[in-house]
Amino acid sequence: VSDNIKPYSSSLKIYYITVGNV
């Protein structure tokens, strides 16, 4: 499960950064 959340967390981080940038 941890391995599955790893990539999800990375994507979520990028999503938050993109929203914050906008």
Q: Using CA atoms, how far apart are residues 3 and 6, in angstroms rounded to an integer? A: 5
Tokens of 9: 């967390």
- pLDDT score recorded for residue 14: 87
Stated pTM of the model: 0.34
Tokens of 2: 């941890």
At 14, is the secondary structure helix, strand, or coil?
helix
Q: What is the pLDDT of residues 1-22, one digit of tens each?
A: 566 666 677 888 888 888 877 6
